[in-house]
Amino acid sequence: MSFTPFKLAISAEMVFLDLPFTERVKRIHALGFSVEIWNWTTKDIQALVATGADFTSMTGYISGNLTDPEDIQQLLDSAQESLAVAAQLGCPSLNLHGTGLGDQGLPVKPVAQTTGRMWLSACKTLEKIARLGEDAGRVFLLENLNTEVDHPGTPFARADDTLALIEAVGSPHLKMNLDLYHAQIGEGNLIELIQRAGSAIGEIQVADVPGRMEPGTGEIHYRAIARALFGMGYSGVVGLEGWASGDSEVALERFRQAFTLDG
């Protein structure tokens, strides 16, 4: 007997691109998946609520970063605004990056090298973020990114970096959004990485390499990763944050099959 031990979610930003955004959400929901969104400021929140979809993750800030005093306050203020929207959507998790991202995912303030002072500042900022999450009963997720292809100049980008910060903060309201597409490009050794991250993981995001499309289009053995996640007791969200190689509905079914196990 086959079974899916994870909650499967789809980024509505990257599939069914021929449809208006709210219609994408309806389509994903109708196919039995949960939904993830990026910048909530560009969305009709009440229309999204009316779809009845299960929202598992959304971007948890509008602007700011973890290290510069003025930008830290922007980050904290916009995180507070994002929490109010998350409450409307019933969304339990809010996503963060090492810095604010602009056009094409490039850092608003690129960093050539992270200093010790920046690490200390990031840790203190994330402690404040975790307290906001605790007060609201929600979890912030810090996502790893790759700097080789998609996000050059992003500080605290590697999975090792995000894991170190999360472990330093030590709060159940700050977890890791472990994006395996980014990790494969930047670090590899994915099964060892997810086992090492363990309870720090709040979500797994996936897409294949190269191309950032659904599982089965590239080099990552996602069936093996699914077995490893199940073996370590992970039963949380696995989100497809990737483009469809062709028909979106076919891509979503390939994703489902990659994370369906044989009993």
Please tell me the class of the 2-262 domain.
alpha beta
Helix spans in the chain (H): 21-30, 45-50, 69-89, 116-136, 159-169, 180-186, 190-197, 222-231, 248-258
pLDDT tens column, 52-94 = 999 999 999 999 999 999 999 999 999 999 999 999 999 999 9
Arithmetic mean of pLDDT, 207-234: 98
DSSP for residue 40 = G
Distance of alpha carbon 224 from alpha carbon 246, whole angstroms: 24
pTM: 0.96
Dihedral pair phi/psi, residue 72, rounded to 5° = -60, -45
List residues with catalytic annotation: 143, 241
Q: Is residue 155 within 8 Å of residue 99, measured between CB atoms?
A: yes
Q: Examine the pLDDT at 104 and tell me if it is beyond 90.
A: no
| Residue 238, H or E segment | strand 237-240
Q: Is the dihedral of CA 209, 214, 217, 223 positive or negative?
A: positive
The proportion of the chain whose per-residue pLDDT surpasses 90, expressed as a percent, equals 95
pLDDT tens column, 114-123 = 999 999 999 9
pLDDT tens column, 149-176 = 999 999 999 999 999 999 999 999 999 9
Residue 211's region, left for phi above 0, alpha for psi from -120 to 50, else beta, is: left
Hey, what amino acid is at 250? V
Hey, what amino acid is at 236? G
pLDDT at residue 129 in the model: 98
Distance of alpha carbon 175 from alpha carbon 35, whole angstroms: 19
pLDDT at residue 249 in the model: 98
pLDDT tens column, 124-143 = 999 999 999 999 999 999 99
Those residues with Cβ within 8 angstroms of residue 172's Cβ, 6 or more apart along the chain or in another chain = 139
DSSP for residue 259 = T
Q: Could you give the 3-state DSSP secondary structure of residue 257?
A: helix
Q: How does the average pLDDT of the chain come out, rounded?
A: 97
Q: Examine the pLDDT at 263 and tell me if it is beyond 80.
A: no
User: What is the Cα 86 distance to its own chain's centre?
Assistant: 15
pLDDT at residue 103 in the model: 82
Pairing label, strands 237-240, 7-11: parallel
